[in-house]
Amino acid sequence: MKKLAFLFLFPALAVFGQKVPVKEHFLSNGMKVLLVERHDAPSVSGGWVARVGSANERPGITGIAHLFEHMMFKGTPTIGTKDYQKDLQIIAAQEKVRDGMRAEERKMRAMWRRGEITDLQDPDQKTKRWKELEKEFKKLVEEHRKVIVKNEFDRIYTANGGSSMNAYTSYDHTAYFITVPSNKLELFMWMESGRLLDPVFREFYAERDVVFEERRMRTESTPTGKFTESFNSLFWESHPYSWPIIGWPSDIPAISKAQADEFYATYYAPQNLTLILVGDFQSKGALAQAEKYFGRIKKGKDEAPDVVTLEMPQKAEKRFFAEAEINPNVDIYYHTPAFGHKDTFALRVLAQVLHTRTGRLHKKLVLKDKLATDTWAWTRGRKYAGEFNIGAEIAEGRTLEETEEALYAQLEKLKNEPVPAKEVQKVKNNFAAAEYRRLSSNHPILMAIMRAEGTSGWRAINESGPKLQAVTPADIQRVAKKYFTRENRAVAIYKRKPGTGGGGDPLLAGLTGEQKAMARKIKASITAEKDLTKLKEQLKGLEGRLEQAGTKAPPLMKVVRDILRKRISEMEKKK
C-alpha cells in the first residue's frame, strides 16, 4: 500500500522508471550531440560541455580553465566589437607590450628568490621598466575600450527572450548554458557555434585581473577560505585536485594569451565537446541545424590528453589546526572512489543516513547530547577520485575532542551494526523524490546531463537511480569498514581566533561587521517574539532551506538558526 501511495505521488517514476529519453548523435567533426525532446513548454534549454576542468591544468597555469569560463563571453569577429580590424591591431600591440612585462616579471621572480623584494604583487616593488610598460599597456586598454561593445553576447540573447545564461567550471569539466524560446533555437546554434568557431579573447588581461579579484573576495577575504584551500592541498597529496579551481595567486597573473590559445586548441576541439538540448524541438531538424553550425568547427589534430597522475594511497592520518573567525568545528574527510564506482552508491545512501534534520548526527549530537549546533555528512565522486566529509560545529561549553570522538562513534556504529532496512528505505525514497523534482523541467534536466557528461558520461543520469535503490544494509556496512579508517582520513580542527567572539556574543563569531549588525537586529526581533509556535515554524522553514543549501549555506543563516534554537529552548524551559 505504501509503495502504491508513493507511485501515486510520483507517477513519472512508475511510468518511465526515472529514465530520461536521451538521443545520442555525433556530428561529422566528432562533436557529440545529446537531444531530449520535451514539449511541455515552448522553450529549449541548451548548452555544451567542454571535458576540461582544473584537473587538466599544470603548475604555472592553474586557474586557466576557470579563466576560459570568463573569456568565452567576450564575443566573436561580429559580436562584441565596433571595428574588428582595429580590435586585432590593438590586441597584437597589447601582446607586444605584455611580452616586455613578462620579461620584467621573470627578473622580479629572481629578485624575490634572492630576497631583494618581498611581494611580487606589490606595485611599489615592481621594476622601473615594468611600471613604464604598464603605463603603455593602460593606454592601449583605453584605446581598446573605444571599439569594444561590452556584454553584447548577453544583450543579443536577452533581446530575443533568452534567460538563465551562465557557465561554471568544476575540477573535471566546464559548462555553458541558456534557455531560449523554441523559435530562437537557430539563433542559439549560431551564437554558440560562433564563439567556438572563432572566439576573440578581448580584454584578456583585464579579465585575468577580474579573476584574481574574485579569488581575493571568495578565498582570501572569508573566515575559512584560505584554510580550506590549504587543507584541500593537504588532503590531495599527488592528484591535480590539490590546487583550487580558481588557481594559485602566483599563477593567475602570469597566464599569457599564448598559453590560453594553446589550452583552447587542445581542450575546446569538437571531439572534446558535447552539445545538449532539452525542450520543445524536433530532433531531426535540430540535428540538421547542429551539423550546419557546429559542424563548421574544424576537428582537433589530437585527442585531449587524459589525467594520468593518480592520488597516492594515504599512509597515515593527517591533521590540520587553524584559528579562524568562526565557531569551533571539526571537519573530517576520507578518500573514496571516483564517480560511478560501485561503492559510491552505498556511500551516498550512508551519507544521507547521517545527514539531514532526521539523520543520525543531528538526532544524537545536536538534539540528544547537545555536543553540536550543526552537523553534516556528504560524499562526492569526482571523475578521478572521491571524498566523504563528516563534521560538526561545536556547542558552547563542549569540547572539540569529545565532539570529534562522537562523530567517530557514529561511523563505528555503521561498521558494527547493519542499518535497519526501514531506515535505508526512507533514504532511498528521499533520493527518488528528489530525483523526480529535479528532472521535472528542462533546465534541471539539462544541468543533470551536463554534470554527468562532464564527469563519467550522460548515461549516469539513468543508471544512478536503480543503483541507489539496490543498495543494501550489508553494502553500507561494507563501505563503512573499507573507507572509514584512521589512515585514510584527514582532520581539520578549527578553533575560534582570540578576540573574534562576535562582539561579546559567541553566536556571531565568523560574521562580518555588516552581518553582525544584521544578526543583532534579527536577534532582537526573535527575542521580542512571544509566540512559541510561530518561532518553531520559522525554525522549521529555515532548517529546510539550510538543508537544501548544504555546505553552500551562508553563515548568517546558520547564526539565525542558532538564535532561534536558543530562544525556543529558553521559552520551553519557562513553561
**Distances from the Cα of 256 to the Cαs of 102, 206, 430, in angstroms?**
9, 12, 48
pLDDT at position 13 is 41
DSSP reduced 3-state for 47 = strand
- Which ranges in 72-150 belong to alpha helices (H)? 84-113, 128-145
> Closest by alpha carbon to 296, among 4, 31, 575?
31
pLDDT at position 505 is 65
pLDDT at position 221 is 77
Question: In this structure, what C-alpha cell is assigned to residue 572?
Answer: 520551553
Tell me the whole-structure pTM to 2 decimals: 0.85
DSSP 243-300: S-TT--TTTGGG--HHHHHHHHHHHSSGGGEEEEEEESS-HHHHHHHHHHHGGGSPPP
CB contact set of 138 (below 8 Å; sequence gap of 6+): none
What confidence tens digit (pLDDT) does each residue in 501-553 have?
555 566 666 666 667 777 777 887 887 788 888 888 888 888 777 776 665 67
For the chain, helix (H) and strand (E) counts, in that order, are: 21, 11
Residue 383: how many other CB atoms lie within 10 Å: 20
Residue 126: how many other CB atoms lie within 10 Å: 19
pLDDT at position 507 is 65
* Residue 291 buriedness (CB in 10 A; 0-12 / 13-18 / 19+): middle
- All residue ranges of the chain with pLDDT < 50 are 1-17
For residues 174 and 455, give the distance between their C-alpha atoms in angstroms, rounded to a whole number.
Answer: 10
For residues 345 and 472, give the distance between their C-alpha atoms in angstroms, rounded to a whole number.
Answer: 10
Residue 387 bridge partners (DSSP): 335, 380
pLDDT at position 218 is 82
